[in-house]
């Protein structure tokens, strides 16, 4: 009946394990404080980078990233963290910007329903480009 005991991943103290918790309540509280600090800073300085926020608040960069990963922080303020994985555009959430999402989506659709017309008629092209054929090969 006694709660499962775990070592806090930060201070190593034993604590009664609760679902999803890897740190003791004391560290959790500290984390919460740091979270509030970060939150406040980002609210006052929208567009701040993680590095900047870490510098200004004294909160560990890793912890800030963790907040972001957990979705506890609005990513809006962190322009350097969330970028489109395809073109690098700044995005508010997800992995891709709206443009790339649209493109990827149409690409996927093209794969599913094969567009036969896609290989731009190589013969026709070759005959039209005949003058340049010596430059090839």
What's the CA gap between 22 and 8, in Å, rounded?
6
**Nearest approach, Cβ of residue 13 and Zn ion (Å):** 5
What's the CA gap between 124 and 15, in Å, rounded?
74
Residue among 102 and 128 whose Cβ is closer to Zn ion: 102
**Nearest approach, Cβ of residue 125 and Zn ion (Å):** 30
Residues whose CB is less than 8 angstroms from the CB of residue 96 and which lie 6 or more positions away in sequence, other chains included: 84, 85, 86, 104
**Nearest approach, Cβ of residue 121 and Zn ion (Å):** 30
What's the CA gap between 34 and 36, in Å, rounded?
5
Centre a 10 Å sphere on the Cβ of residue 37 and count the other Cβ atoms it contains: 16
Query: Which stretches of the chain bind Zn ion, using CB under 5 A?
Result: 8, 10-11, 13, 24, 27, 84, 86-87, 89, 97, 100
**Nearest approach, Cβ of residue 41 and Zn ion (Å):** 24
Residue among 8 and 79 whose Cβ is closer to Zn ion: 8
Residue among 6 and 52 whose Cβ is closer to Zn ion: 6
What's the CA gap between 92 and 113, in Å, rounded?
31
Residue whose tokens read 């912890």? 63
Residue among 65 and 89 whose Cβ is closer to Zn ion: 89
């Amino acid at each position: 009946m006694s709660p499962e005991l775990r070592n806090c991943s930060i201070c190593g103290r034993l604590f009664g394990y609760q679902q999803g918790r890897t740190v003791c309540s004391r560290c959790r509280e500290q984390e919460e404080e740091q979270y509030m600090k970060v939150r406040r800073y980002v609210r006052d300085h929208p567009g701040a980078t993680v590095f900047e926020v870490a510098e200004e608040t004294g909160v560990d960069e890793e912890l800030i990233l963790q907040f972001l990963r957990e979705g506890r922080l609005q990513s809006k303020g962190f322009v350097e963290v969330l970028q489109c994985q395809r073109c690098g555009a700044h995005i508010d959430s997800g992995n891709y910007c709206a443009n790339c999402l649209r493109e990827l989506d149409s690409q996927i659709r093209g794969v599913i329903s094969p567009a036969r017309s896609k290989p731009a008629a190589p013969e026709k092209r070759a005959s039209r480009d005949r003058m340049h054929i010596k430059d090839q090969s």
